[in-house]
Each structure stands twice: as structure tokens, then as C-alpha cells.
Amino acid sequence: MNRNQLPPADVLIVGGGMAAAWAAIGAARAGARVTLVDKGYVGSSGVTATGGPNHWWVQPDPALRREAVERQAQKAQGIGDPEWMARIIDLTWRHLPTLARFYPFGSDGKGGSYFSGVRGPEYMRALRQQALAVGVSILDHHPAIELLADEEGRVTGARGHALRTGEDWAIAAGAVIMATGGCAFRSGLIGSHCNTGDGYLMAAEAGAELSGMEFSPVYTLSPAWASTRTLPYFAARFFDETGTELDIPPPRAGHAHLQALGKAMLQGPVLADLSDAPLQLRPILHRIQPFTPAPFERRGIDLFRDRFPVKLFGEGTIRGTGGLRIVDAECRTTVAALFAAGDAATRELVAGATSGGGAINSAWALSSGLIAGEAAAREAIGRRHRAPATGLGKLGIAPTGEVRTVERKAIDVLVDDEMHGYDKALRRHGATLTASAQRLEEVWGDLSRHGHAAGRELVALRETAAMTATARWCVAAATEREETRGLHVRTDFPESRRDFATRLLTGGLDRVCTREEKARSGATMETAA
């Protein structure tokens, strides 16, 4: 296979969303030669570009910050890290305003600027401009396929495929940052089409571990025919198709709200009524969340007057918590010279067992991106002589059996159902988890034995493999955590266990292994699926 050997970089960043952009800015400001490669167009790809993200924003008052950390630590249910929480609050406060050269922050109504809430499309465009201004080389529509490593297992770059030219490419680097976002399993969630877990798979092939993968059942409520954003639904009432109002807990009830909606949707169509929404929201929704009104306008539906059918779109590890394990204060993974940031990394450090939502996840993306970028730059600068590199990719590249056609789209549908089916994810049970694991193992076996492709087809096949791998890790961790905690609800283990306030680590390809980060009572637990 002919490959276009592109100029080497000190730091190579894989991904194109918020965390990837901040990582690129941080690495370049630290003096590194930085290349950023993304499947889409940096500035419009990913879930941030379609939303209106807020940031965890706390004034530099010791008492206020201490109170904010204490509240979040309680929500984290024993799995968060208060030091990390305090750190990302501080980094977000100090660095988000530095984007003012490219982003028009609004007024706070008190003579100052309103920094914490941003408009997604403009925010991502500003991050692209900032990255280019500090010298980052951006390669759009250049999906990465596999990592490269030297004989000692140290990551030394990546290979991929340029979608526009049809050429394969390779880039050598002193360090790589995985910032590919979370995995939504092709649920239809707005902005998530490229979020297929590619970074998890590439890192796992290099030997990286993941953490918090059981905390993945998160959903966005949207009109049944199109995924939008969720702001208006805090005021929603719900009805069945006969016009009978349903007893649905309010959104602040969290998982109970989603469970009730999912149960009702299994019985038949559910209609939302937003007539109780505040009058002041109606004229400004276009500005806050411009992608939300459009689907209604195209159908001639008055969002705040007419009832309409709704659906839950799965968010997986985007608003879930899991991702690549972070092993130190510099966002390193368990693989040498490989870092992780944003939704590609676990957010247990700041979110614990619950979703980081928008504000905490946004602060994490900004902060972990800067941390990883600066640390990768320090490690990579000066590493000019690199050993010959070997590609680490397996699925779709080196099948173990006879090459056959793999029905990718059917697999994608199956994986999404195993991860987001209301009867499987919202109320987990050992029996359903075992059944899911068996189906996913069969799919994985077919992919590993028979899957093979090149060029654009290989990119697509690797996406399917990554979603399948991610689902296997989620199911394995959910099976091992025999309790209910945060986003993870087990009907056969409905109580939280005080001795299980620990993180679950998972990984492996053909053999998935799950273990506790800190063993209970001196015992080491490991299971294979």
C-alpha cells in the first residue's frame, strides 16, 4: 500500500473537537511543532459545534470554589477526585477568556463579559482560528486508522487515509494525543456521526486501558424524527397517543426521568407538550441553540404550542463518563507517549459515576486538552531520532481467517440496540448483560476473522469495529459492577455498595479483562468475557 509520508511533528493530535483544538493550542504555545488530523472539518465536526455549551465557571474565591468542589464530589458518588475538580475550575477560568481575540463574548449585564456560555458553531470556529494563529498544521478529512510504535512499544505517530485525495498517509511524532471524542454508537444524536470510538480502539491496540465504561446510559430527548438539543424540555409535560398525561418525573430527577420515559416509549408513542415553557425563552432559542427550532419549522410545528412525538437518542460515552484511563496529572494513558483528552479520556476524575453534563464536560475538554498538549510538548520536543515504526492496527487490517464481506450496517444497528435499547441500558440486569455480551462476541469474532478493507472502506470498517469494541468494554464493566451507582442501574443489584466506591478498569481485544483500580479487602478481581 502506497503511503504519503507527511512531515513529522513533535505532537500529533487525533481528533477535531473542543479538546483536540485546546490540546493543539497548548502544545503549540509550549513550542512544539503540532499537527492535528480529523475525520471531519475542524471547526464544524463533533457535538460541540451543534450546541451551546456552558462551562463550569466559578470565581476565584476560595470559599466558592471549595463549595463547588464539595458539591460535585458528592455527586460523583465516591469516584471523583477533588484535586482534579479544583484544577479544571482554575484552568477554565484562566484560559477560556484568552479566546476573546477570535470569539465575541457577550455581556454579563454588569459591565463585564459573559464567558461561561458559548455558541457552539462560533466557539469551534474561534478555536480553529486560534490554533492556526499559533502555528498548528490542520489536516481536515484525514481520519487516523492505526497508531505507530517503536520496538519498545512507545507510540511514534499514526497512519490514516485522506478522504479527498484517496491517499493513505503516515505521520511520525514524538507524542500522540488521542482527542477523538466519545462514542454514541451511531444513535442519530446530533453532531455525533463521527463519534464512533476510533480513539479507544487505536489506543487499546497499543495496550491502553479504559475506565468508567459502565457509566454510559445517557440520552438526549428530541423530536422523534430528528435529534436536536435539550434546553426546552425542562418545561415539558408528556402524553400518550390517546391524550392521557403520563406520570413522568421532571428532568431534575435524572435517571428516574429517563427510565420513566423509556418505559413509556416501549408501550407506544410519547408526545411532548412545551406550552408551559417560559415566554422569555421563545424569542431567544434561535440564538442559544440554533439547531433546535429548525426541525420543527421545516414541519410547520409550533414548538411551544403543538404536541409532537419524542424519542431518546443515546449519547453513550459523550455525556457518559468512560474513556481511556488517565494515569497521572499530565493526562498520560497506560501507553508510553500516548495522551488522552476530552471525551476520549475518562471523566471519572471530575464527574465520577454521574454525567458531567455540559458544563463540567466542557471545562474538562478545555483543561485536559491544555494539560495534555503542554505535557506532550515537553515530552516530544527534541525527540528527533525515532526508531522504525510498526503499525498496531488489527481489525480490518490483519484478519485472522478467510476474508469475507462483513455487513457493517447491520452490525452498527445491532451494537446501537445493545447499548441504547431502553429495556437493556436504562434498567440493566445480569441476564440481559450476558445476552448482550454473547451477541457482541459473535460480531467481534466475525470482524476479527473476516473483516478486511482498504482506503475509505477501511475507515468505515474500523468505525464499526471501534463501536463493537467499545460496546464490549461497556457491557463487561457493567457486568462486573454488581451494584447501582450513578448512571449505572442494576435491577438485580438495586443498592449501592460502600465497598465498591472504586473505578473499574477494562481493556483487551480478543479477551476483554475487567479489574478494579483499587482492590477491595486486599483482593484482586479480574474477569474475562
Question: pLDDT tens across 405-432, in order?
Answer: 999 999 999 999 999 999 999 989 999 9
Same domain, 147 and 17: yes
∠ CA(367), CA(209), CA(198), 5° rounding?
A: 75
Distance CA 512, CA 504 (A): 13
pLDDT tier, 22 (very low <50, low <70, confident <90, very high otherwise): very high
Residues 368 and 489 in one domain: no
Report the CATH number at residue 452. Answer: 1.20.58.100
Tell me: the pLDDT tens digits for 31-72?
999 999 999 999 998 899 888 889 999 999 999 999 999 999
CATH number of the domain bearing residue 295: 3.90.700
Same domain membership, residue 82 and residue 40: yes
Tally the C-alpha atoms within 13 A of residue 462's C-alpha that lie toward its C-beta. 29
Question: Which residue, among 16, 26, 14, 24, has the nearest Cα to 47 in the 3D structure?
Answer: 16
169 pLDDT exceeds 90?
Answer: yes
* 238-256 average pLDDT score: 90
Q: Does 398 reside within a domain?
A: no
Domain span at residue 262 reads: 219-314
The number of folded domains in the chain is 3
**Co-location of 17 and 146 in the same domain:** yes
One-letter amino acid for residue 444 of the chain: W
pTM to 2 decimal places:
0.94
Model confidence at 225, pLDDT cuts 50, 70, 90, reads very high
Same domain for 168 and 224?
Answer: no
From the list 498, 485, 80, the residue with the least C-alpha distance to 255 is: 485
The answer on 212 and 227 residing in a single domain is no
CA 340/CA 19 separation, integer angstroms: 9
Computed from CA positions of residues 209, 213, 73, 319, in that sequence, does the dihedral angle turn out positive or negative?
A: positive
- Do 271 and 132 have their domain in common? no
Exposure pattern of 323-358 as b/e (b: 16+ CB <10 Å)? bbbbeeeebbbbbbbbbbbbbbbbbbbbbbbbbbeb
**Burial of 153: CB neighbours in 10 Å, binned 0-12, 13-18, 19+:** middle
Among 282, 314, 346, which residue terminates a domain?
314
How far is the C-alpha of 221 from the C-alpha of 229, rounded, in Å? 8
Q: Give the tens place of pLDDT for each residue, 94-141.
A: 999 999 999 999 988 888 899 999 988 999 999 999 999 999 999 999
Determine, yes or no, domain membership for 161: yes
Contact 449, 215 (CB under 8 A): no
**Greatest Cα-to-Cα distance within the chain, rounded to the nearest angstrom:** 71
pLDDT at 99: 96
Residues 255 and 384 in one domain: no
Query: Does residue 30 sit in the same domain as residue 144?
Result: yes
Distance CA(419)–CA(96), nearest Å, equals 34
- Residue 243 and residue 171 share a domain: no
pLDDT band at 384 (very low <50, low <70, confident <90, very high): low
Query: Which of the listed residues 330, 364, 391 is the one where a domain comes to its end?
Result: 391
Instruction: Please work out, in degrees rounded to the nearest 5, the angle formed at the alpha carbon of residue 509 by the alpha carbons of 499 and 413.
Output: 95
